[in-house]
Amino acid sequence: MVRTKIMSDMFQEHGVILRLWVVLGKILAVGKESKLNSAHVRELLPVMGEYVDGCHHAKEEVHLFPALRAKNLGDDSKLISELISEHERSRKMLAEIASAAEAENVHACSISIPKYRELIFSHIGKEGPFFARMEDEISQGEDERIFLGFLEIEEKTVGLGTREKILDQIKRVERDYEAVKPDPRLYRPAQRE
């Protein structure tokens, strides 16, 4: 099967987002041993706000999800509503993280970031298999049309071809945590009790 342009884009962006997820985990791990570095959190805020939410989620909400909903996908339509609801929750969490990081409120950051990480991990865990299933539902014409919409959003929000710049931004913070061997529990979603 040939991968569609839109799903290739989504999966590549998921890779960047998961890299962010790992770095946030390392920041948390160091924060447990000493003091959480709110400057590094502030440095990653544009990645979380502009790239993850402003660009990636916007592509899904403006172009991909409406196109998939038009296909009358039964239970998968409910999943789309759930994914959009998670986008809204992540926006609230990002506002909390931004406020805490700007105020250098380490305690609030150490509460908000794990919640955000858990949501990201769970969210991508739902989207990945869903997008893989939906790929066969998308015609070449739809792929082209939706991808052009993706490019418009990317250009307006972060600039075309920004993925490498975003990765460089994550890597700059990541370098300070290369030696960190965090608690493996930080790399799994929290267990519900």
Are residues 83 and 65 in contact, defined by beta-carbon separation less than 8 angstroms? yes
- In this predicted model, what pLDDT tens digit does every residue of 114-142 receive, in sequence order? 999 999 999 999 999 999 888 888 999 99
For residue 177, what pLDDT band results from cuts at 50, 70 and 90? confident
Are residues 131 and 12 in contact, defined by beta-carbon separation less than 8 angstroms? no
- In this predicted model, what pLDDT tens digit does every residue of 43-78 receive, in sequence order? 999 999 999 999 999 999 999 999 999 987 778 889
In a domain, 185, yes or no: no
In a domain, 117, yes or no: yes
In a domain, 189, yes or no: no
CA dihedral 148, 2, 138, 91 (to 10 degrees): -60
Structure tokens at 155: 């250009």
How far is Cα 27 from Cα 41, in angstroms, rounded to an integer?
A: 8
How far is Cα 73 from Cα 168, in angstroms, rounded to an integer?
A: 38
For residue 193, what pLDDT band results from cuts at 50, 70 and 90? very low
* pTM for the predicted model, two decimal places: 0.88
Domain that holds residue 69: 5-177
In a domain, 155, yes or no: yes
Total domains, the chain = 1
In a domain, 56, yes or no: yes
In a domain, 188, yes or no: no
Residue 160: left if φ>0, alpha if ψ -120 to 50, beta else—which one? beta
In a domain, 107, yes or no: yes
CATH number at residue 141: 1.20.120
Are residues 180 and 29 in contact, defined by beta-carbon separation less than 8 angstroms? yes
Are residues 98 and 49 in contact, defined by beta-carbon separation less than 8 angstroms? yes
In a domain, 152, yes or no: yes
The residues, any chain, with a CB within 8 Å of residue 92's CB and separated by 6 or more, are none
